[in-house]
């Protein structure tokens, strides 16, 4: 039993070290320039020791992104008196996340790297479906699993196209407008009425403006 505890501790320590080194390399070399071989060389370990914990770079990036979203959710939930509904909460989460991720070219390169996004869209399908389920339950809408998954796919495809437009046409929309278009789409897909959507979006932006995000991130500046 003691040997197993020691092995668990060693595995956790190595996993933390991999995250620390990879996070630093993401900042230094970008997503493409960071390789498992570089990480292994820095830690003086075999690449197999990395893949034991993380199958690929996406899984490491996912850890950082999940941590970012977890911190955002905790920050929002620290203002329980301002909570409105699940739609509002997810609007705030996305607005904070976009403002953080899209604040610098480096952040954008890490989050929106082509390889990372392709895997993200498949890997997060059930999570995004769950977001739609939460909202539709909150507003007593009828749905089924296939419907939720289709909405999630429409959502993620629209996000990619929206970002492409934002990047390829500087000045065509502000970051706040970018946030608006995405969270407006969520409301439409959830079959919310126009007044409800507009009220929640306005309350979202008011909340974000009154409560500047205060979190720490390993890789996002």
pLDDT by residue (tens digit) across 122-137? 788 999 999 999 999 9
Whole-number percent of the chain with pLDDT over 90: 73
Q: Is the pTM of this model over 0.75?
A: yes
- Name the range with the highest mean pLDDT among 36-50, 71-85, 100-114: 71-85
Give the pair of three-digit tokens for residue 17: 């070290």
Count of CB atoms within 10 A of residue 219's CB?
A: 23
Q: Average per-residue pLDDT in the chain?
A: 91
pLDDT at 5: 47
Residue range 105-115, pLDDT digits in tens = 999 998 898 88
Give the pair of three-digit tokens for residue 23: 């996070």
pLDDT at 146: 94
In this model, does residue 28 exceed pLDDT 80?
yes
CA–CA distance, 92 with 89 (Å, rounded to integer): 5
What does the DSSP assignment read for 91-155? HHHHHHHHHHHTSSHHHHHHHS-HHHHHHHHHHTHHHHHHHHHHHHHHTT----HHHHHHHHHHH
In this model, does residue 189 exceed pLDDT 70?
yes
* pLDDT mean over 34-56: 93
């Amino acid at each position: 039993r003691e040997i197993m505890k020691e092995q668990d501790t060693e595995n956790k320590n190595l996993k933390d070290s991999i995250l620390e080194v990879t996070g630093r390399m993401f900042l230094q070399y970008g997503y493409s320039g960071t390789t498992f071989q570089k990480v292994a060389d820095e830690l003086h370990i075999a690449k197999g020791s990395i893949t034991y914990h993380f199958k690929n770079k996406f899984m490491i990036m996912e850890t950082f992104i999940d941590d970012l979203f977890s911190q955002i959710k905790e920050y929002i939930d620290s203002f329980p008196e301002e909570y409105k509904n699940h739609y509002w909460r997810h609007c705030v989460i996305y607005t904070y996340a976009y403002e953080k991720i899209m604040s610098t070219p480096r952040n954008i390169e890490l989050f929106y790297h082509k390889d990372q996004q392709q895997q993200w869209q498949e890997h997060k399908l059930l999570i995004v479906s769950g977001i739609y389920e939460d909202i539709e339950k909150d507003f007593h809408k009828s749905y089924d699993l296939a419907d939720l998954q289709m909405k999630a796919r429409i959502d993620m495809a629209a996000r990619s196209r929206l970002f492409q437009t934002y990047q390829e046409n500087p000045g065509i929309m502000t970051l706040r407008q970018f946030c608006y278009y995405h969270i407006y789409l969520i409301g439409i897909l959830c079959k919310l009425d126009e007044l409800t959507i507009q009220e929640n979006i306005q309350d979202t932006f008011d909340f974000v403006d009154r409560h500047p995000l205060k979190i720490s991130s390993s890789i996002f500046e």
